[in-house]
Structure 1
């Protein structure tokens, strides 16, 4: 009994000493890391918030706006975390994204979004060799020949949209444009991608898949954020409602089901689609690993083919309606060039200069890629500055579009800035805008392979809709990108009520 009485206090003393030792060790390590990051880290010589040298927690609010303000305060290169720098100059963007070694990217994609799958598809793939191979698989899907073969699919759904607007869009309350833009773009993307019919425009309601990916949108953002705080990563599962995770899993399941349904239909589809270029119907099915890669690619193809189109169509209508002069010019150009609705095609819309300017300005105002697309430096120069190996670098695409050094009246919607000199509406005040340095679909090896398809699809939708229909915004509304849009995994648009009327001819 006496021995036990002595052992218990001894154990408590030992435990207390160990606890003190552990706390002291952790405190020493944390202090050492802070001291090192502040004064000796390779990124320490670059300006930025003091707190950024030791943590990411200084970033609060909308990320693109925070980064833009940081550039205004600290200059062209800003340290935004202990091991991360962000640049704003076009030369930096070219160095980061367009540099190549033996046909492969030099600055490797940082692992900022990977979900730990066996295959990361094409968008999330960090291995440059694997990404290069997957990009080669996809290239035939987006050739000029392939675009012409698939044009009828786009016409089919735009026709359905126009007919719906003639029947439903002229009521007193109008229609809510966001959801209809989503349905139109998703119906086209699914059918173009792998002959998957969503029937949202016909049924006038969202598909379960569309609802699932939007419900999971915030979770993807939280997952990306959690990667910057590894010890707190588990909190991501408590920062979103359980339904978001359930919906994310449901979206993955729906994609898998549609993927294998398309495999069963090899050689039997009603029209060419992107998937048709990935598998030869005359050859036996490839190994499981190859099929996993294709499934992951298809998972990325659908949102990539849908969300930018939906946002662009929505943005063009919203922003142009708030600028009556430019909206009138756009409508007049479309209706002057095309005598009939049937004349409008992907080849003919390229002739419309003001339509092209409108699309480009919408892409600038509602800029995509606002997360910076971080890359890992191999130990190379970015805009004349040597960046040590292992330091992450990114490009502030949003800040670039909002900087008066590069765009006159950067916060204003001005399609004129994209017109050629000599055009009737060209304005010399925009002559020095950095148009050639704006790459809405990226640049270098990882540039979007579907950029031409996307540009032509947006133009086709706008031209056909505005040729057939007059559109007005219901009173009491105003759309501002910086205030009303949310930048999660995908761009979340605000509600917008508009009224469509058939053009009287």
Structure 2
């Protein structure tokens, strides 16, 4: 029986019935959500998993924790309190045990894979990319794009990378000559954005020389924040369409400019005739097969590579630089190794840094201590269900590894909140560390294509 029909049967006058309608509707909505919370807490298949009651009752709790910008610190405390698995939402589990990397993210021959949670990941349009795509599309695209990240490509791209690292050092000398402090995060970000613009489009954005951001950097940064709000909206029926209508005109125009700008850069680069060893040259060179990337797919994937490479790498460099400065004894050890290995900066090559033990230990510890992508990477358990961390989970459950809580867990590392490169050098004091818990590039067939 509908609400209006029910009010009519009470023989109320039309004005009174209309006045009571919103009250009745509100009551029904409240009753629905209270009943749903009651079910989530007491009858849901995940009811026996530990975690805060409010998180079990409604997904809104975790959504607001994410929007706060401090969700990973909150989650780290929850894992410290509740253990290696925490129920962070009615239908979601977070893990900090290393074996779960394989359970969730590794290939499962003959079995369906754990797919990316569609409530967390969303394509900008219908074009697949490495970020969001089917298993078949992802395998096909990755095989083509991997040529741009091969050892051969890396060797040929090294002069381009050195050009930007040299420019960064020169500009840092210039802007610090007066003795004033600088924001190193900005300079790292500008360097990587220029570099990836050059590698993707054969066109740097001039940030390093100008000493200021390109508009695209700001739009990308704002879009990351908007991503979390839209993630919340997708979980509430009708709210996403309402939020899209409420977006200021300026933001809509920025999004349109972003799409048009990136498309024009990609099209311009694809039309070039050049042997320059950038990403696009390797992609186009190996793209003449039946499994080739379409033009829209190339555009979509370079849009992934720009923020995926520049934002994450600059974040890692910023965090590691800050941490080294907080640990001067570690900084000195690193400087001593570099200066005893090379007589001049021109001697530094990618190939002859592989054997630098302390440098590589600092990199690994920096990636553990300050993971560039600290947030959850949720996957959905296949319909048939699966074993995760030794327990069966029914299909449809969202599961994830949280890189930051994983890396800062006392169950995985001794002194997890201390920067200790020596743990990667087989220091006996850290022999019990579970180094495999740190997977900053993710794990399995959908891990970061830039991992080397």
TM-score where L is the length of structure 2: 0.87
2:185 is aligned to: 178
Within the candidate set 314, 320, 345, 1:316 is matched to 320
1:55 is aligned to: 58
1:342 is aligned to: 346
Residue-by-residue CA offset, 1:59-115 (whole Å, 9 max, x unaligned): 43411111111112222221111111111111122201114234x861111111315
Give 1:23 deviation, angstroms.
5.4
* 1:331 matched to 2:335: yes
Q: Indicate conservation of the 8 Å contact 1:365/1:411, yes or no.
A: yes
CA distance in 2, matches of 1:438, 1:239: 40
Summarize the Cα distance change of 1:17–1:271 in structure 2 as closer, same or farther, 3 Å threshold.
same
Residue 399 of structure 2 aligns to a residue in which SS? strand
Within the candidate set 383, 399, 405, 1:399 is matched to 405
1:36 is aligned to: 39
Residue 86 of structure 2 aligns to a residue in which SS? strand
2:393 is aligned to: 387
Residue-by-residue CA offset, 1:377-421 (whole Å, 9 max, x unaligned): 0110001111110111111221111111211111112222112x3
CA distance in 2, matches of 1:328, 1:291: 49
- Consecutive unaligned residues in structure 1, runs of 5 or more: 1-7, 422-426, 453-505
Give 1:226 deviation, angstroms.
2.5
* 1:431 matched to 2:431: yes
Summarize the Cα distance change of 1:145–1:78 in structure 2 as closer, same or farther, 3 Å threshold.
same
* 1:136 matched to 2:143: yes
Q: Indicate conservation of the 8 Å contact 1:105/1:445, yes or no.
A: no
Q: Indicate conservation of the 8 Å contact 2:168/2:191, yes or no.
A: yes
Residue-by-residue CA offset, 1:190-215 (whole Å, 9 max, x unaligned): 11223222222223332222232223
2:225 is aligned to: 218
1:75 is aligned to: 83
2:5 is aligned to: none
Within the candidate set 367, 370, 393, 2:371 is matched to 367
Q: Indicate conservation of the 8 Å contact 2:158/2:350, yes or no.
A: yes
Residue 87 of structure 2 aligns to a residue in which SS? strand
2:299 is aligned to: 295
CA distance in 2, matches of 1:448, 1:131: 12
* 1:85 matched to 2:93: yes
1:491 is aligned to: none
Summarize the Cα distance change of 1:31–1:365 in structure 2 as closer, same or farther, 3 Å threshold.
same
CA distance in 2, matches of 1:28, 1:416: 56
Residue-by-residue CA offset, 1:146-195 (whole Å, 9 max, x unaligned): 11111111011112122223333332214331211111111111112232
Residue 387 of structure 2 aligns to a residue in which SS? strand
Q: Indicate conservation of the 8 Å contact 1:194/1:276, yes or no.
A: no
1:4 is aligned to: none
- Consecutive unaligned residues in structure 2, runs of 5 or more: 1-10
RMSD: 2.9
TM-score where L is the length of structure 1: 0.79
Summarize the Cα distance change of 1:239–1:331 in structure 2 as closer, same or farther, 3 Å threshold.
farther
Q: Indicate conservation of the 8 Å contact 1:215/1:248, yes or no.
A: no
Q: Indicate conservation of the 8 Å contact 1:85/1:392, yes or no.
A: yes
Deviates more, 1:199-208 or 1:403-412: 199-208
* Paired residue total: 434
CA distance in 2, matches of 1:120, 1:305: 19
Give 1:229 deviation, angstroms.
3.3
Which has a greater percent of helix?
A: 2
* 1:351 matched to 2:380: no
Aligned pairs (5 A) from 1:210-289: 210-233=217-240, 236=243, 243-265=250-272, 268-269=273-274, 271-280=276-285
